[in-house]
Amino acid sequence: MRSVPAAAALETFPPEVVVAVKSLACELPSRLGVPLSRLYVPDIREEVIERGIVAEISGATIWRWLSEDAIKPWRHRSWIFPRDPDFETKAARVLDLYARQWQGRRLGKRDFVISPDEKTSIQARVRCHESLAPGPRRSARVEHEYDRGGALQYLAAWDVHRTKVFGRCEPATGIAPFGRLVEQVMTTEPYASARRVFWVVDNGSSQRGNAACARMTKRWPNAQLVHLPVHASWLNQVWRSTSRCSSARC
């Protein structure tokens, strides 16, 4: 139980002060002269005192008041509103593929779904000294300093239903590097002799538009590009499923 002085301290401020502080916490940060991401309890406390709402107040008291009403001052999430007029149709088509359906029919055993993407500008770093293996009463030692070896682009293709990843490193992205990733997959069984291989791609420059679709089917007749809606890369499974580049051919 709280001591008598502590309990009395909680009742020091009248309700109108509590309301004023909570109202201040919900104001635009720009009116307080702080950035959007920096409206913290100390900022609120400083403004409360400067406005003369109270002569003195602790940050812990303000935090407790805000916490009671689940007020989290100006936390926000980045958001992009869908701008593709066919967003729902395109997204549903991709989700159907993930559920092994295409145009209302179940995929067969010789149908595959591939989710590819590019992770750009991965820094290649070379340690100034080789790592030392652990020894008696000594942990492994890894050199802190490194030299920059330039940047590489990691391209990966994830078989959605077989949980298999193909990867490679390239000096740059583009149509030709993406084509080499496709060739790496399509010349491997069971994709080489598959009935259909659906490639779920975003709208990057190397896979964009009807020209990319025609280029794919001309080179690989059993392959088909399926485009995600604009601003829907979060529907692309490859980077959700592959957290390491262990399969990359660098």
pTM over 0.85: no
87-129+141-249 CATH fold? Nucleotidyltransferase; domain 5 (3.30.420)
pLDDT for 27-36, tens place per residue?
A: 877 777 766 5
Nearest 5°: CA angle at 217, between 214 and 223? 135
pLDDT for 38-93, tens place per residue?
A: 678 888 898 899 889 999 999 999 989 988 888 776 666 777 787 888 999 999 99
Cα(133)–Cα(116) distance, rounded to whole angstroms? Answer: 37
Domain boundaries, the chain: 4-68, 87-129+141-249
Cα(2)–Cα(132) distance, rounded to whole angstroms? Answer: 56
Cα(244)–Cα(86) distance, rounded to whole angstroms? Answer: 33
Residue 115 Rama label (left phi>0; alpha psi -120 to 50; beta): beta
